């Protein structure tokens, strides 16, 4: 029986991530990058997959938290004889001085576990059993002096620890017996451990912990957000930072692959890649929290992968290399037996024409945040960038596509895609009026085409029978993505038709505070959960319509649905409340941040109003 998806917390070093369960077991770890083959894969096969576990004699309870303002996990264990505290960290080494562009920290492909007895005595053991390349490459561990080395071809994992590790079959075991104030440590190092960087004592491990804690606290202190939801917002921001691959500036959609969106079902995808769609919300979230550098780094990633936006913009990218072909790992049982486990992602070949609006909105938000005085590399070819992106948007304005949800049932005339083409042209014109080098006639042409696109989707996207904007032209199916385009200004949240659409979405796609993204045949099996980001989009629409009291109540109930350390997967099962899909999901956390910012801005504008007060207020405007 697999552990619940909500059992997992995340640590990382802005190069790769590890998932740690409530019981202290590291069940997922990819090194040296987010998209590298996993060497701990118990998350996806409870029997075959390796892990780094910890077991206590006489365990009676656990609790955990992140150290404040950090991505360092602290788990407390209570046994019949004492209490212990386990601190898990992946070291980050910030350069000094911090460069204007590029990584703000270097990873070590290392994970450190420090276990301290707080009261009484505790006994137990760490056990380490890697299963390289998603458990496809067997290895035989050997003892090398004070450490154990696991090696399979070019895959290497070294285990240093105190007390010294021993070999028990194919596992490294570190047995501990600690009295109050005593500490055991375990260090996992991937690849070659340079002699000058090796950790072979407690002091060395503690130094790495202290430096990394200082890095995360300084990073959190840069946030300009001081609102009522700081804990939830900062945990989401810290999560997004963990999902960053700092050498390139890209951000993966989630830390995992193969976790199911439907149980049972076949919706088990690999999300360890960078989606263009995440650009607008990622940049907006970072900019509005004061993290302009992180926003700039994401734009650097897109600029370098797309040749200063000069080639045909793609839907998704690998964080450093091309995306591998989609592949099923038939030898893995899957989370709770839900198969297939999929790595790679076929969606990279789909047509999704909203991406031009995503990129141009991201660029617009960033440029306005820096008063149109960005770093030279962002600004050196802006007129050309606008020409390239608007030309593509106009070229595809009449084309059907697979849409935001990457449906595998064939292209449709998606309202969301059309509205984002309007965003692309409108934002390009907005940028152009604030820089030099773009002729006025060209700007007016973009605005003219944008008006035509808007008139079309307002007409053809409206379904009189449903009394709602629907997902595709001449369709009867509602789509929560319509809420998203209202957040971009492509639909007016105060317009009677948009209010009717929100009511229809709540009625047909809603389950309490939760929202399905759609309810129609999508060519896949199983019933997926509600989509977490959609629920936060609804909060944004309520807030923008002045229904602040309602929006506030919904938002606070939603953030309470995160796991015990404030993390969200992609979806939530509306019956059980259990999280579903890959975790933690960047899109969910971006939506949380943006909902919090919109909510607090609307409260500043409207005060607190219930639905009736909001209607009365709007009638008076």
Instruction: Name the domain count of the chain.
Output: 2
> What's the chain's average pLDDT?
92
- What pLDDT sits at residue 614? 43
**477 and 525 in one domain?**
yes
* pLDDT > 50? residue 31: yes
Please indicate, yes or no, whether residues 195 and 290 belong to a single structural domain of this protein.
no
Q: Are residues 499 and 427 both part of a single domain?
A: yes
Domain end residue (candidates: 172, 187, 220): 220
**Domain CATH code at residue 50:** 2.70.98
Residues 196 and 308 in one domain: no
Q: Do 354 and 392 fall within a single domain?
A: yes
Segment 178-212, tens digit of pLDDT = 999 999 999 999 987 655 567 778 898 999 999 99
Q: Is residue 204 located within the same domain as residue 255? A: no
Do residues 509 and 447 share a domain?
yes
Distance in angstroms (rounded) separating the CA atoms of residues 213 and 221? 12
DSSP letter (8 states) at residue 493 = T
Residue-wise burial string across 518-545, b where 16 or more C-beta atoms lie within 10 A, e elsewhere: beeeeeeeeebbbbbbbbbbbbbbbbbb
Does 129 share its domain with 232?
A: no
90/307: higher pLDDT? 90
pLDDT for 498 beyond 50: yes
Q: Structure tokens of 444?
A: 């007016």
* Judgement on whether residues 410 and 426 belong to the same structural domain of the protein: yes
Distance CA 27, CA 8 (A): 9
Could you check whether the bond before residue 97 is cis, i.e. omega within 30 degrees of 0?
yes
Among 220, 243, 276, which residue terminates a domain?
220
Same domain? For 264 and 391 the reply is yes
pLDDT bin (cut points 50, 70, 90) of residue 560 is very high
**Which pLDDT score, from 0 to 100, does residue 612 have?**
42
Domain span holding position 485: 222-620
Neighbour-count burial of 376, counting CB atoms closer than 10 A to its CB (0-12 exposed, 13-18 middle, 19+ buried): exposed
Q: Which two tokens stand for residue 81?
A: 């004889």
Tens-digit pLDDT profile for residues 299-308: 888 888 765 5
pTM above 0.85, yes or no: yes
Same domain, 338 and 196: no
Mean pLDDT value of segment 344-369 = 88
Helix 278-288 vs helix 230-242: crossing angle, to nearest 10: 130
Tell me what pLDDT residue 617 has: 38
Residue with tokens 């263009």: 276
Segment 414-427 shows an average pLDDT of 98
């Amino acid at each position: 029986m697999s552990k619940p998806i909500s059992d997992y917390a995340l640590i990382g070093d802005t190069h790769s991530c590890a998932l740690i369960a409530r019981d202290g077991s590291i069940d997922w770890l990819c090194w040296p990058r987010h998209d590298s083959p996993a060497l701990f894969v118990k998350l996806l096969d409870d029997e075959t997959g390796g892990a780094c576990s910890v077991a206590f004699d006489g365990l009676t309870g656990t609790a955990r938290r992140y150290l404040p303002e950090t991505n360092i996990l602290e788990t407390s264990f209570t046994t019949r004889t004492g209490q212990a505290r386990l601190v898990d960290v992946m070291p980050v080494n910030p350069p000094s001085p911090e460069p204007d562009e590029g990584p703000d920290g270097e990873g070590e492909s290392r994970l450190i576990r420090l276990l301290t007895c707080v009261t009484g005595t505790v006994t137990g053991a760490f056990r380490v059993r890697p299963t390289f390349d998603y458990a496809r490459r067997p290895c035989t561990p050997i003892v090398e002096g004070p450490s154990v080395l696991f090696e399979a071809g070019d895959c290497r994992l070294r285990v240093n620890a105190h007390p010294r590790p021993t070999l028990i079959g194919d596992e490294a075991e570190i047995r501990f017996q600690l009295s109050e104030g005593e500490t055991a440590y375990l260090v996992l190092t991937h690849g070659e451990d340079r002699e000058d960087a090796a950790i072979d004592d407690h002091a060395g491990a503690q130094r790495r912990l202290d430096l990394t804690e200082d890095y995360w606290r300084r990073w959190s202190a840069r946030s300009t957000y001081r609102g009522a939801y700081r804990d939830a917002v900062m945990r989401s921001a810290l999560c997004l930072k963990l999902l960053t691959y700092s050498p390139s500036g890209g951000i993966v959609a989630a830390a995992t692959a193969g976790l199911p969106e439907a149980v049972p079902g076949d919706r088990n995808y690999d999300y360890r890649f960078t989606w263009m769609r995440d650009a607008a919300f990622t940049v907006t979230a970072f900019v509005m929290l004061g993290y302009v550098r992180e926003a700039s780094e994401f734009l650097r990633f897109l600029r370098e992968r797309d040749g200063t936006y000069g080639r045909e913009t793609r839907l998704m990218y690998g964080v450093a290399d091309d995306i591998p072909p989609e592949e099923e790992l038939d030898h893995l049982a899957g989370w709770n037996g839900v198969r297939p486990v999929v790595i790679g992602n076929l969606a990279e070949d789909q047509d999704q024409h909203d991406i031009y609006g995503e990129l141009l909105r991201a660029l617009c938000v960033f440029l306005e945040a820096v008063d149109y005085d960005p770093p030279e590399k962002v600004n050196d070819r802006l007129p050309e960038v606008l020409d390239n992106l608007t030309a593509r948007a106009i070229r595809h304005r009449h084309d059907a596509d697979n849409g935001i949800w990457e449906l595998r049932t064939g292209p449709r005339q998606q309202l969301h895609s059309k509205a984002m083409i309007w965003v692309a042209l409108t934002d390009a014109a907005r940028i152009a009026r604030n820089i030099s080098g773009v002729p006025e006639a060209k700007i007016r042409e973009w605005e003219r085409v944008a008006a035509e696109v808007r008139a079309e989707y307002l007409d053809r996207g409206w379904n009189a029978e449903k009394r709602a904007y629907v997902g595709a032209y001449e369709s009867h199916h509602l789509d929560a993505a319509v809420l998203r385009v209202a957040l971009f200004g492509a639909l007016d949240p105060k317009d009677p038709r948009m209010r009717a659409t929100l009511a229809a979405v709540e009625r047909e796609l809603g389950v309490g505070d939760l929202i399905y993204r759609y309810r129609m045949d999508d060519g896949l099996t199983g019933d997926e959960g509600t989509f977490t980001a959609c629920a936060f989009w609804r909060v944004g629409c309520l807030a923008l319509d002045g229904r602040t009291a309602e929006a506030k109540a919904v938002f606070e109930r939603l953030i309470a649905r995160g796991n015990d350390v404030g993390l969200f997967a992609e979806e939530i099962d509306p019956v059980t409340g259990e999280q579903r899909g890959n975790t933690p999901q960047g899109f969910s956390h971006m939506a949380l941040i943006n909902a919090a910012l919109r909510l607090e801005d609307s409260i500043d504008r409207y005060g607190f109003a219930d639905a009736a007060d909001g209607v009365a207020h709007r009638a008076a405007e």
